Structure 1
């Protein structure tokens, strides 16, 4: 009975697998016991397939774990467990085939891209070599050696003579400036004396004005007082 039912269980597992994966993508549906995977045509499709495989593999493992718990509650425990194992095996086998085909496409696409890049690099190098061969660089001409001419720097004796002349000129200027500095000092002293005189005059005027104002105030106060009237006897 068990051997007769096993092919039926396997067929049921395939049907359940088709129904479960159909909601995700038709490209992941197993078509026979030997997985036949549709060819991938782009990197985007390969990435989508791998994402679907990850999702469906997790769902299959969760389904199997739940089936083990459920089977122990049934009368035909072994038949139920065999069916769950077959479903898991067929599903994972197909998902592995889909994953292998998608990763193979990615590796081939990466290798093709590297080949194209290498071919382009070789082509660019060959084109540069051809350009250089057609237009060789001019041979550099060596510059004639420089001939050292006579030095234009002054000699030590010339520098000493220039320094002595400079010191003599400074001394002469200082000597000529002595009368001028004396006159300036005398003028400054006279200005100071004149300034002190003006300051004293200002102070004297202020004192005279204050004295005059004080006298005027006293005269006004005296005029304001009542005069005594003398009576003749």
Structure 2
């Protein structure tokens, strides 16, 4: 009975394992097919933008704006497609690997759009710089023409002497502008003079700081010497008071306890013995 039960259990486990392997294989095949389809769609859509704007094809501001608009539209479609793929990966068993593959496809698709965006932005930036330079040049030319017309001498009447031309600065009472070389030399001399003054001021400040530091050091040394002198005087006064106190306690004429010799203890005197009479003699 046990053998039949074991055989049935083993057979059921094998069937469940085979079914699981088949489901995983189908899921992997479906993911691979979806990835290939998404990559093919992304490549086709992106290549359509790249094919319309190959390198060097953007030669006007209008074409640059069109390329940027198409690239932005394609970027939005790529992001929307990535969102759909990410949502489709959530119910699957290997969701993290599926999401990583979707991210990689999005990265490759966006990377293909970058050359078009860079070229369009570069052309627009150069166009703005060129337009600004042309506007400045036209303004300078216009100002120069206006100044020449204002300073041009009027024709002298018939029979009168010609009057030498007078520039606008002289008529307005202003001093004529200095030459560029003179102004440059004056500015250089002014910078040199200012630098020398700053260096002198810094040197004086450093000398003052050194003097203040030496003064503080000397004051500290004098204070330490004064403290040492006061301490020595205080110690001397304490010693003198102690000596006077010892002299007042000890009676006059007696030696100090330390110098007195210790008294010897009294030993009892031995009694004198009387002489014994000699034997054999009579009085």
TM more than 0.5: no
TM bin, normalised by shorter chain, reads 0.3 to 0.5
More RCO (CA 8 Å, sep 6+): 1
Give TM-score scaled by structure 2 length: 0.36
